[in-house]
Structure 1
């Protein structure tokens, strides 16, 4: 299933900047960055639970926010974009 993760981390302190890096690193384990603070993650239901658990452990709920948009398995027709595409569609073949 495809899940979009969007986050806003308060970076006024060194701890906040560290949380921001850790949130991005965690999201990169499950998907790809499509905007500065937005990731598209192709995950199994169990991976989704782990991702949410890991991100909840990193964030400071009084300062930061996370949003999860579950697009399901048939997500390709639910995504529209305009302008420069910053990601590789996960259901297409990648050639190097």
Structure 2
């Protein structure tokens, strides 16, 4: 499945900055960063369940927000892009 993961983590506190780094590391393990707080993810249903669980454990639900958009199959193959070219293929190898 194709996913778009976006997040907004409170960073005014040291704890919030730690949560931000943790959320970013979790997302990097599952997909490719395409903007500062945006990741493209190609995964299986079981991988998505692990991703969601890890993110839920990492955030403070009263201060942070994560949005996971489930896209149509192969939607990441047909993206209109403006500006700096895409650096990675969303279906390419994921190096952690």
Q: TM-score, normalised by structure 1?
A: 0.87
SS in 1 for 2:39: strand
Q: TM-score, normalised by structure 2?
A: 0.87
How has the CA–CA distance of structure 1 residues 70 and 87 changed in structure 2, closer, same or farther, with 3 Å as cutoff?
Answer: farther
**1:1-96 matches, cutoff 5 A:** 1-75=1-75, 76-77=77-78, 79-91=79-91
How has the CA–CA distance of structure 1 residues 91 and 26 changed in structure 2, closer, same or farther, with 3 Å as cutoff?
Answer: closer
Unaligned runs of 5+ in 1: none
Unaligned runs of 5+ in 2: none
Pairwise CA RMSD:
1.6
Matched positions, count:
92
Would you identify which runs of 4 or more consecutive aligned residues in structure 1 move more than 6 Å? none
The CA distance in 2 between the partners of 1:59 and 1:4, in whole Å, is: 18
Superposed CA deviations along residues 53-94 of structure 1, whole A, max 9, x for unmatched, are 1001101111000000111322123x222111343123468x
